[in-house]
Structure 1
Amino acid sequence: MKAVQVTKLVAGALVVFAAINAQAQSSDVDVPAQPSNKQEIKAAKNADRLLARQVRRALSKSKDVSVSHITVRAKNGAVILQGSVPEQQQVDKATQIAQTVPGATAVTNALSIRPTGH
């Protein structure tokens, strides 16, 4: 009778050990995927920052646009212009300039016209 109980105990221990071993093996597969995802996110953020700087630089080189109150943001190639300029021609010109920057896939112009004297 004791031999049967010992056999059951050993078999149960083997099943538990096999389950733990299988669990440990399956979790190892997921680990390498996480750093590459973080690296991709970091690379995308860096590309967005670079694009925003390039658009801002292009705007500042233009004598037709006052960039002192303009904020440039970029997300996955889409450029967003925010802030204010003194006149409508600058709103239009800012959009045209941003569209010419390599890497800009879309431009959203949220610029407003600020009252004179501000």
Structure 2
Amino acid sequence: MKSVAILKTLGAALCLSVACSASYAQDNSASAPAAMTSAAPAPSAKKVDRKLGYTVRKALSKTQGVDVSNIAVRSHGGAVTLEGTVPDQGQIDKAGEVAQGVAGVKSVSNKLTVMQQ
């Protein structure tokens, strides 16, 4: 009988502490300025760069006549760098044009080279 009473008391104390901590957490968030809580967070620069690099890579892979298997695409602040090797000079030119045509690209540094046979 004593153990049942102890368990009931512990359960009540646990419920009380959870209720108090939840109330405290709500009180802190309610005091935050409305502008901070309602605005969606802006995407980080790394995330934007990563997405732009992915978009350029995708555009290159969809382009007929460009072998993207040895092309690396890097992006930083809208500046895209193409590095790697391709089989011929025509693919270097085409890859640069395609990258420049992607929305959000401000400049292209084309460091592609022709593969040595």
Same-fold call, TM cutoff 0.5: yes
More helix by share: 1
SS of 2:104's equivalent in the other structure is coil
Cα offset, 1:63, TM superposition? 1.4
User: Separation in 2 of the partners of 1:61 and 1:50?
Assistant: 17
Q: Which digits, 9 at most, give the CA deviation of each residue in 1:76-113, with x for residues without a partner?
A: 00000000000000000000000000000000000000
Paired letter, 2:93:
D
What's 1:102 paired with?
A: 103
User: Separation in 2 of the partners of 1:51 and 1:64?
Assistant: 22
SS of 1:47's equivalent in the other structure is helix
What's 1:83 paired with?
A: 84
Find runs of 4+ consecutive structure 1 residues off by over 6 angstroms. none
Q: How many residues align?
A: 77
User: Separation in 2 of the partners of 1:99 and 1:82?
Assistant: 15
What do you get for the CA RMSD once the two structures are aligned?
Answer: 1.4
User: Separation in 1 of the partners of 2:113 and 2:51?
Assistant: 24
User: Separation in 1 of the partners of 2:99 and 2:65?
Assistant: 13
Larger Rg: 1
Of all paired residues, the percent bearing the same amino acid is 47
